[in-house]
Every structure is written in structure tokens, then in C-alpha cells.
Amino acid sequence: MADSLDSKNNLTGLIIFVIIFVFTLSNSNIEAKIFSVAELPEDSIYTFAEKMPEFPDGDTNFLSYISKNIKIPSIPESEQHELHKRGVFRFVIQATGKISDIEVVRSIHPILDKEVVRVIESMPDWIPAEHNGKKVNVQYSFPIHFNIQSD
């Protein structure tokens, strides 16, 4: 019962916050401009497109490619306290299918991050995203999980 009340109070608080936030935005002098795809610069980066980019032969092959090509380097025992099991990486799939702008959003460990970036850099070209019939650049993020046992 107490858990039910807590979650109702949290939901009510969230709803009130959203209402205040929307009210504040609606009363501000922010002007939004809506662009058509034709008006956007060619180097724009989308976070979503009508047809998202695809790794050659699909998502299953993307995961397989990552797992087959990562060589887990040894982490010095003195640095193992810095090790995180999960990381997040982001990159852009260009309108040409090439990969660019690789970044570590959530680090696992500098040594492992470097290895994941190496594998991302070595990926074959993707099938590019399309939006309104035009090939576009899309930002792609993916989490990766390492189950590393310390000795």
C-alpha cells in the first residue's frame, strides 16, 4: 500500500513538473522554425529517420561483428577498480554509409574503450538512412556490456 502511494505521489509530481515546464515554455519568447529536409544543410545529423541505417545483413550481424572482432585486452590489476561493465558508444553513419564521429558516451575503461572504438572504425560501410527519399546522416548509439571476471 505504501509503495502504491509513493508511486502515485511520484507520478503526480512528475505530471505537475511537466505541466509547469510546458506552461513556462509556452509563455516564453522562443521561436521554433520547422525545416523541411530540403532546407537542412547536407551535413545535418539526424537522430531518427524514416528508414534507419542498417548494418550489412541486419542487426544480428552487427552484434556478431562486434563480439567476434573485440579482443579483450588485459587490464592491469591496479586499474581494475576503474572498470565498468557497461559502456555506451555513439557514432554517425554518413549518407554514404561510412562511419564517423565516434565517441565514448559512457566509458568502460580507457583500454577497453580504445578497443571498442577500433572495432567500430573497422566496420564495413552501412546501408545509409533515408528521410523523405534522401540519404541522410544519422547518429547511432549502442550500449555494450562486458562480463569481465577479475582474477
Tens-place pLDDT, residues 35-91: 444 455 567 889 888 999 999 988 889 989 998 999 987 877 777 766 778 899 999
Q: What is the per-residue burial (b if ≥16 Cβ within 10 Å, else e) of 27-53?
A: eeeeeeeeeeeeeeeeeeebeebeebb
Task: Record the pTM.
Answer: 0.67
Tens-place pLDDT, residues 1-35: 444 444 444 444 334 333 333 333 444 444 444 44
Residue 12 is placed in which grid cell?
503526480
Are residues 52 and 130 in contact, defined by beta-carbon separation less than 8 angstroms?
no
Please choose, from the candidates 83, 74, 70, the residue with its C-alpha nearest in 3D space to the C-alpha of residue 121: 70
In the three-class reduction of DSSP (H, G, I as helix; E, B as strand; rest coil), residue 62 is classed as helix
